Amino acid sequence: ETGVTQSPTHLIKTRGQQVTLRCSSQSGHNTVSWYQQALGQGPQFIFQYYREEENGRGNFPPRFSGLQFPNYSSELNVNALELDDSALYLCASSLKGQETQYFGPGTRLLVL
Amino acid sequence: AQSVTQLGSHVSVSEGALVLLRCNYSSSVPPYLFWYVQYPNQGLQLLLKYTTGATLVKGINGFEAEFKKSETSFHLTKPSAHMSDAAEYFCAVRGNAGNMLTFGGGTRLMVKP
């Protein structure tokens, strides 16, 4: 059974650029959630996708958007990057109706 | 709305000593509660969870936690610390009607030889 994988592992962008982060969910999981973890803080919920549609959103602006594909993999897109977007971005997969989310290793984004 | 408070951003114990990491939560619905561990430069690994039933839950690596509704707490314990336990620990809550996890700020556990 393959766990949650994310790519790339590290990324450096400049302010104003756009970035796309990718996540492959654990085998059999149909729900993907994204979290932002700033340095020294706990993860914060960005949004969740189920059946290719957004299924809940945290307190993040619209420049944070996502996609889920038929194979349940997912993308997180961030437009007009700001310095404060520098963080570890975590993807978690789960099975709809079950409470446990399983996390990937994360993508560390640095915005200069 | 849900929230999680972890008392003590840093906890230091000696190897072999008791580990106690504190977590208090607020939730408008019966909560699901989780403890995750994060090693340096890695993602989150589930240690244990409480959903319903027995209030004392056992997890991996010898950790356990007790759900106390009257105290709105879910403290994490381990009888004897090991050097490999040094990591960041996060408590999280999920309302059973919701779909997001709300995390505390984390507690960094340091284990001294």
Q: What is the pLDDT of residues A7-46, one digit of tens each?
A: 999 999 999 999 999 999 988 889 999 999 999 999 999 9
Strand ranges inside chain B, DSSP E: 3-5, 10-14, 19-21, 24-26, 31-38, 44-50, 56-58, 64-68, 73-78, 87-95, 102-103, 107-112
Which two three-digit tokens encode residue B36? 């995750």
3-state secondary structure A73-89: CEEEEECCCCHHHCEEE
Q: What is the pLDDT of residues B56-105, one digit of tens each?
A: 999 999 999 999 999 999 999 999 999 999 999 999 998 655 578 999 99
Q: Quick check: B105 and A42 CB within 8 A?
A: yes
- Could you tell me which residues come within 8 angstroms of residue A34 by beta carbon, excluding any fewer than 6 positions away? A23, A45, A46, A47, A48, A66, A74, A76, A89, A90, A91, A92
Q: Quick check: A56 and B101 CB within 8 A?
A: no
Of B43, B99, B106, the CB nearest to A105: B43
Q: Nearest-CA distance from B38 to chain A in Å?
A: 10
Cis check: omega of the bond before A105, within 30 degrees of 0: no
Q: What is the pLDDT of residues B22-41, one digit of tens each?
A: 999 988 777 899 999 999 88
Which two three-digit tokens encode residue A9? 């592992």
Q: Quick check: B99 and A4 CB within 8 A?
A: no
